[in-house]
Structure 1
Amino acid sequence: MAKNFLLEIGLEEMPAHVVFPSMQQLKEKTEKFLAEKHLAYDEIKSYSTPRRLALFITNLVEKQADIHEEVKGPAKKIAIDAEGNWTKAAQGFVRGQGLTTDDITFKELKGVEYVYVTKHTAGKKTTEVLQELPSVITSLTFPVTMHWNKYDFEYIRPIHWLVALYGSEVVPFTILDVTTDRFSRGHRFLGQKTSFEQADDYLVNLEKEFVIADQVKRQAMIEEQIAQIAKENNYQVSLDPELLEEVVNLVEYPTAFVGNFDPKYLAVPQEVLITSMKEHQRYFEVKDQQGNLLPHFISVRNGNQEHLANVIKGNQKVLTARLEDAEFFYAEDQKLTIDFCVNKLKNVAFHEKIGSLYQKMQRVTVIAELFGQQIGLSAEELADLNRASQIYKFDLVTNMVGEFPELQGIMGEKYALLQGEKASVAKAIREHYLPIASEGDLPASKIGAVLAIADKLDAVLTFFAAGMIPSGSNDPYALRRQAYGIVRILLDQQWSFAIRTLIQAIAAKLNEQVAEFGFSLDNITEEVTEFFAARLKQALSLAEIRYDIIDASLYSNQEDLLLQAKAAQLLQAHSQADSFKPAMEALTRVVNLAKKADQSVEIDESLFETEIEREFAEKVQTTLAGLSLDNLAANYEALVALEPVIVKYFEETMIMADNEAVRNNRLSLLKQLATEVEKIAKLDVLITK
């Protein structure tokens, strides 16, 4: 008869950010363990709080399934000697399976007879198999670990108790000096020690001791309590998902409450106030129905309603101290000039091998101007871009950003506006950090987007030039994320990005004044180009474009990342059309034959021998004359339209003619066509079968 199984690992309080991942990891590894041990069950439910990780497995069978396995051994001619006796090979084989030669049968496989035995393995009792769970529990990995007492063993936090119940039976095993039992612990301050007669008692008995072990229920309680507070006070409360998850993993018995702060602090930018509340205190900000920040906050205590007034008072006191600091920093920062801050950046290292932040800004100014000119920014936009690039890191040396690093860029925009900078310049200062996450928001303004690209491109180029290139999972300076951010911005803005040409132009400028810029760029073009190709591949893969289409576009004779992306999107859009397969096959044949052209010669119409050859040449020349990189879709349609005449031409024409002049003439014509085809994609990597 199947029974439910409970496993609980009791710990000291874990950091909130590791609770959910650890719970999921325990579940996944247990699923794998049960599959390997041939133990069937209905479902695994996972639970967690800051002090425990738990699994509840429903209808876990009482014993392993018996296994009947047919095992193949040596060939018959090796198993039996000339006298008809079993050889050592046969005897060793059956002995290894726990059987005898009496169990041997023969079966033919591809014309050869082999020894076979049927191995019967009786399933063990589930309670016996579950005693191997310490191997699962101790295999969990964490971002940080600690060891305690005299043990070398490391874990996220010390293990204080273990519960393992199969139905009502304790499954015995020990980890370090902790042995499984049916006893658990309630809330650290409100609850008592509790026990479970059977696995099914878990959630109910813990709740009696002020522990909501089900994280889904805990989150629902928090959401409902905050919604009730908002309704009663006519508040607008936005539940940030990341903050909500963190709060869920900070408490075992949640009680939401409202706190207040002095309205005078509303004179400080609301981003500062929200950061103080959210990042440092794990509070939810409160707004009115018009979206204006109010002098209140909502927090969640780990406990019940008792002595809640004291809890509120304590939280208000802590927040007030934070806001006092913020108000002071804000006032002090306004005494600083942008020029003063920029000058201080001369003494702030960007990286010891690359130079100061001031030198980085000097390089970025050059890169931004080159790229801004390339994409056709107006004179006014270029002037604003130049100003933004010369000052965009100044807020890093302000008091506010020193205390709240999360506000870099945000405070730069605000301080720039206070000191009379143009709104477009100030906005670019904030936007140059975007996207902050791999799929985060992108810059909305052209100037902000160019500055973001220039800043990130400088990081990639200089770190590559310094030999600090990401390898494997090692990417300490987040160069992959920065390059991917550039790709996303380019695709969003639809800007051309001729990567090799741009790198060479940047290197030419920067290498003229190594002393000023602090760095030279040499011999990195190919490595950086491949690095960006991998990031574009990532973006196109996420857009669910076929892998062979992506490769065909990236390996084309086109260095512009935007055109590579457009080609991939174009081929993907047409890949299901009836014309796609025959057209790609015909054009691929053109490309493959064109590789045989030893030299390109001017097409000589007098060497044409047939009417189809004249027709083919005329249509190819007309098509090539009408192609333009400004309209990739039209190019594709024009090339696809050649499919019937290509097929007919190949059917009626011997390309590799004996006459060298005729052969070279035909190959040169194909070469002209292939060159234009390969500006769109390298078709020979496409899968058309």
Structure 2
Amino acid sequence: MTDFLLELRSEEIPARMQAGARTDLERLFREQMKAAGVEHGDVSVWSTPRRLALIAKAMPERTEAVSEEAKGPPEGAPDQAVDGFCNKNGVTRDQLEVRDVKGRPTYFAVKNIPGRDVKDVLAEAIPAIIRAFPWPKSMRWGDASISTESLRWVRPLSGIVAILGEDLVECEVHGVASGFATLGHRFHHPGEITIGGSDDYIEKLRACHVIVDHEERQGMVRQQAETAASAAGLNLVADEGLVIENAGLTEWPVPLLGRFDESYLDVPPEVIQLTARTNQKYFVCNDAAGKLANAFICTANITADDPAVIVDGNRKVLAARLSDARFFWEVDQKTKLAEHAKKLERITFHEKLGTVADKVQRIAKLARWLAEEGVVPGADPDMTEMAALLCKADLVTEMVGEFPELQGLMGGYYARAEGLPDAVADAIRDHYKPVGQGDDVPTAPVTVAVSLADKLDTLVGFFLIGEFPTGSKDPFALRRATLAIIALSASCHNLRLQKAISISVGTHLGEEIVADEFRQHFIIYACDFEWTEKLIAEARNIAENLSGQLAATRANWFYGLAKIPEFFADRLKVQQKEAGVRHDLIDAVFALGGEDDLVRLLARVKALQSFMETGDGTNLLAGYKRAANILKKEGFEGTDRIARTGEEDPLSLVDDPDVGSIVAERGKGGDYEREPAEQALVDALDKAEPAANAAIEDENFGSAMAALASLRVPIDTFFDDVTVNDENRMKRTARLALLARFVAAVHKVADFSRIEG
């Protein structure tokens, strides 16, 4: 066994492509070796700006001889079939073997493949790897580039080192032949280095100022940058992405600290950091008080005799960039945000949803409604509307035009500089949040109202025009918007999704649509998760039967809106599953239907999860399932109606032709004397049902679960002591009705039939 070294050297590889290139190099190498039947040990892959390197451990010197066989057509088959089989397997007719297969002579192609020198396998594999390399962007070069068949590579390929043990693996790609020689650092050691094998590769390059291991270079950048900042009494602003990028730009990283003019600190710190990071790949530092300091750290690719020269050159370049940023900052402030907002009429939000100015007007109406109705407690309606009208104004500023990442943030700065209330400035700044998993969720009332309105408007708008997420495609980030609405709902009170969507639809379609019959039909059912399939079916029916452009358009609106509850339900389930809630418990709550208050829904799911983790929950579930199975077996209908209508007498719902007479007999005193366990269950239900109902009404779902827990012992005793299917039809029917009442009581909290266990 021996080790194999491969180095592919080229002109500078972009830092952003190096991680993917490492992955692709290892994948392609493994694929080639597997196809050739070459077993090997661990594979290590590294990158620098000028090279990709791979070392594979424990490579054999030769592959094992193998025998392959393939079953072909039966003897006597047409010549065309036999010849095709021979051609496919690379054999001649006289090489075929005939074997008996289930009593029928059948041709077999048997090939004995001798072992090969692994060096020869590698000589074929290396060109194949290079030609198959999937660079995100690549180029052709030299005279051969006139042909589209010439090699494509990220930058001109200039060298190949391929050594198995101590032997050269001879190959050639695009006029570049493999060899033992590579190059060291471009400035510190521009001459050739002779590599003896994988054992001395890393250290020989280190001696020539090349750190091959990208992770080692990242560590150097991180540590030396922190040291440089600390030596100046500053704290480095951590930026792992910038650490990786600087390591990808250098083979011998040397972080150096410099200073820029303090006058630039008048510009918002995020602008300075983004300018330094995006344009120059510099780190920034904070002072002891946590404020941005007039310091930057650049990463040189050389150990300079006079580092101050390098620092001064970088300072001048950064100064030019910061001067541009300050110019944008000053120019933008000469125009009020309200004036900037007028320019939003020039920006199309979506061809079917109007301009960004149209969207802002819709957000303002919805946000004000959320504030006025108390859905977002503490949100001042006037401030909320002001923030909503200005929330997108910074999109047309010079600063955001240069740095789109600063949208919202710059609007907050401009609002504060203009003297607008802090609540308005904060809402403009944070209304895009949360933008992804792990992002901060706003809690300030005005911000919550504007953010919620923005995301509801986006969701409703795109569903209205039929732009639904499909599979992995979600071009308008509607899944993310829905999850953000769910997160924001924690700061809301009585957020009825049905009503909020209704108001949002009105802002899209106009007030006249809200009042029509079609609109009212939607309001009745929207967001009742149980009715989703019915809604969609009705929408399709309307679309098929209505005629005329307006009618068809309204049918399409209805169809789009009908899908929103289903979409919300799916997102809620995903969010809760990621939070560690069992999927069956989520289904048990959602199956109840009739609930579109997100806060209440999630509170009920949480309470159910806690309840089912107790012994009471487990045993009550067992009792429920036993009762439900008996009712199902006996064909006892009406459980769902009991749960929904709250009718007092379960017997009135028994699907029995003689129920009327039984009820009449009970009314005349024909009732029987209940057994003790039977009466105990009745008494327990008499207490538990109103207690659970009151708790649900007060949104105290924990207490509702506790009320149900009181039924655990009575139902267990009932099953132990009472014969449900008594020969006396009156007793049997009454006891089945009692079980139906028990099931109905449990259903008020959750559909226990959906719970596993």
TM-score, length-scaled by structure 1:
0.82
Paired AA for residue 4 in structure 2: F
In structure 2, relative to structure 1, the CA distance for the partners of 1:432 and 1:590 (3 Å cut) is farther
Q: Does 1:185 find its partner at 2:183?
A: yes
The separation in 2 between residues aligned to 1:375 and 1:667, in whole angstroms, is 46
Match of 2:701 among 632, 654, 657: 632
In structure 2, relative to structure 1, the CA distance for the partners of 1:506 and 1:300 (3 Å cut) is same
Paired AA for residue 450 in structure 1: A
In structure 2, relative to structure 1, the CA distance for the partners of 1:380 and 1:286 (3 Å cut) is closer
1:84 corresponds in structure 2 to none
- C-alpha displacement of 1:576: 5.1
- On the 8 A contact 2:183/2:191 being kept in 1, the answer is yes
- On the 8 A contact 1:500/1:525 being kept in 2, the answer is no
Q: Does 1:127 find its partner at 2:164?
A: no
Superposition map of 1:504-653 within 5 A: 504-508=502-506, 510-513=508-511, 522-557=558-593, 558-573=595-610, 577-590=614-627, 593=631, 597-598=637-638, 602-603=648-649, 610-611=674-675, 612-627=677-692, 628-629=695-696, 630-649=699-718, 652=722
- C-alpha displacement of 1:285: 1.0
Identity, % of aligned positions: 29
Bigger CA drift: 559-568 or 41-50? 559-568
Partner SS for 2:294: strand
Partner SS for 1:19: helix
1:291 corresponds in structure 2 to 290
In structure 2, relative to structure 1, the CA distance for the partners of 1:455 and 1:178 (3 Å cut) is farther
The separation in 2 between residues aligned to 1:440 and 1:183, in whole angstroms, is 50
1:115 corresponds in structure 2 to none
The separation in 2 between residues aligned to 1:316 and 1:205, in whole angstroms, is 34
1:428 corresponds in structure 2 to 427
- C-alpha displacement of 1:620: 2.9
The separation in 1 between residues aligned to 2:131 and 2:745, in whole angstroms, is 59
Bigger CA drift: 614-623 or 60-69? 60-69
The separation in 2 between residues aligned to 1:536 and 1:381, in whole angstroms, is 29
- On the 8 A contact 2:6/2:163 being kept in 1, the answer is yes
2:332 corresponds in structure 1 to 333
In structure 2, relative to structure 1, the CA distance for the partners of 1:176 and 1:563 (3 Å cut) is farther
Deviations 1:275-302 (A, max 9, x none): 2112221111122222232222111022
Deviations 1:101-148 (A, max 9, x none): 789999xxxxxxxxxxx9998765543544435555555545545556
In structure 2, relative to structure 1, the CA distance for the partners of 1:499 and 1:193 (3 Å cut) is farther
- C-alpha displacement of 1:529: 2.5
Superposition map of 1:672-683 within 5 A: 674=743, 677-678=746-747, 680-683=749-752
2:660 corresponds in structure 1 to none
Bigger CA drift: 215-224 or 618-627? 618-627
- On the 8 A contact 2:376/2:449 being kept in 1, the answer is no
Match of 2:169 among 166, 171, 180: 171
Compute the RMSD of aligned alpha carbons. Answer: 4.3
- C-alpha displacement of 1:196: 1.6
Deviations 1:590-647 (A, max 9, x none): 5564795256565167667643444434433432211233122222333344234334
In structure 2, relative to structure 1, the CA distance for the partners of 1:379 and 1:261 (3 Å cut) is closer
The separation in 2 between residues aligned to 1:490 and 1:27, in whole angstroms, is 46
Bigger CA drift: 13-22 or 262-271? 13-22
Bigger CA drift: 274-283 or 18-27? 18-27
In structure 2, relative to structure 1, the CA distance for the partners of 1:137 and 1:337 (3 Å cut) is same
Bigger CA drift: 494-503 or 253-262? 494-503
Q: Does 1:214 find its partner at 2:213?
A: yes
Deviations 1:265-284 (A, max 9, x none): 12222222122112221111
Bigger CA drift: 313-322 or 541-550? 541-550
Q: Does 1:438 find its partner at 2:442?
A: no
1:369 corresponds in structure 2 to 368
1:112 corresponds in structure 2 to none
The separation in 2 between residues aligned to 1:186 and 1:474, in whole angstroms, is 46
In structure 2, relative to structure 1, the CA distance for the partners of 1:40 and 1:293 (3 Å cut) is same
2:535 corresponds in structure 1 to none
- C-alpha displacement of 1:198: 0.9
Gaps of 5+ in 1: 81-87, 107-117
The separation in 2 between residues aligned to 1:233 and 1:361, in whole angstroms, is 47
TM-score, length-scaled by structure 2:
0.76
Bigger CA drift: 139-148 or 443-452? 139-148
In structure 2, relative to structure 1, the CA distance for the partners of 1:536 and 1:251 (3 Å cut) is farther
In structure 2, relative to structure 1, the CA distance for the partners of 1:231 and 1:417 (3 Å cut) is closer
- On the 8 A contact 2:650/2:737 being kept in 1, the answer is no
Tell me how many residue pairs correspond in the alignment.
661
Superposition map of 1:41-56 within 5 A: 41-56=40-55
- On the 8 A contact 2:140/2:156 being kept in 1, the answer is yes
1:161 corresponds in structure 2 to 159
Gaps of 5+ in 2: 76-81, 104-109, 515-552, 652-662
Partner SS for 1:280: helix
The separation in 2 between residues aligned to 1:327 and 1:392, in whole angstroms, is 22
